[in-house]
Amino acid sequence: MKYAYALTVMLCGLFLGCSEQKTEPLPDLPPVEIPADVFGFYSGKMPCDDCRQRVVDMDLFNDGKVVAVETILKDSAKVDTLRGTFVYADSIVKVSLSENSINWAFKRDRVGNLAFMKLGDVYRDSDGMKAVLIRFYKKLKK
């Protein structure tokens, strides 16, 4: 009986102690800044299931905007200019184009190039090759 009484007292004390948690407001955090070397011009091939080749030239601007020129080669070449925004966090660049109808994710490698991601991991084709957009420090003139 003594043990039941002691156990009851301890449980009541535990519940009362836990119910008096004080919540403090979260501190103001500084905005996340994108490293300056993320901005710039990238170019490379991306996967394409229903075409022979897909080439993307992409500009990431320091205001968070993106312009991507996508060339798709089937029987003829089709060129689209896509506009949108991007965010950067934890070495991942997430691009949203054409009013969120196209979403791409890229993993930034140690030299600054962007590897295309699919299903949360870096994409590899049937030969094990990555689809990489190369960072150019000076935009190519056409």
Inside any domain, residue 25: no
Q: What would the mean pLDDT of 117-133 be, rounded to a whole number?
A: 93
Any domain includes 10: no
What is the residue-averaged pLDDT of the chain? 85
pLDDT band for position 100 (50/70/90)?
confident
Residues near 110 by beta carbon (within 8 Å), at least 6 away in sequence? none
More confident residue, 15 or 77: 77
CB atoms within 10 A of CB 60: 24
Does residue 12 lie within any of the structural domains?
A: no
The mean per-residue pLDDT over the stretch 32-42 comes to 76
**DSSP bridge pairs for 36:** none
CA gyration radius, the chain: 25
Q: Tokens 């991007």 identify what position?
A: 86
Model confidence over 1-15: pLDDT tens digits?
A: 556 666 566 666 655
| In a domain? residue 81 | yes
Residue 9 counted as domain residue: no
Q: How many domains does the chain have?
A: 1
Rounded to a whole number, what is the distance in angstroms from the first to the last CA of the chain? Answer: 90
The pTM for the full model equals 0.72
Which residue matches tokens 């054409």?
98
The SS3 call for residue 136 is strand
**Predicted pLDDT of residue 43:** 96
Confidence class for position 24, pLDDT limits 50, 70, 90? confident
Write out the residue range of the structural domain in which residue 128 sits. Answer: 37-136
CATH at 48: 2.40.128.640
What confidence category does residue 18 fall into, taking pLDDT thresholds of 50, 70 and 90? low
With beta carbons less than 8 A apart as the criterion, state whether 78 and 72 touch. Answer: yes
Half-sphere exposure of 84 (CA within 13 A, CB side): 19
The confidence band for 130, taking pLDDT boundaries of 50, 70 and 90, is very high
73 in a domain, yes or no? Answer: yes
pLDDT band for position 138 (cuts 50, 70, 90): confident
**What are the residues facing 133 on neighbouring strands?**
44, 114
CA-angle at 131, arms to 126 and 132, nearest 5°? 155
Any domain includes 28: no
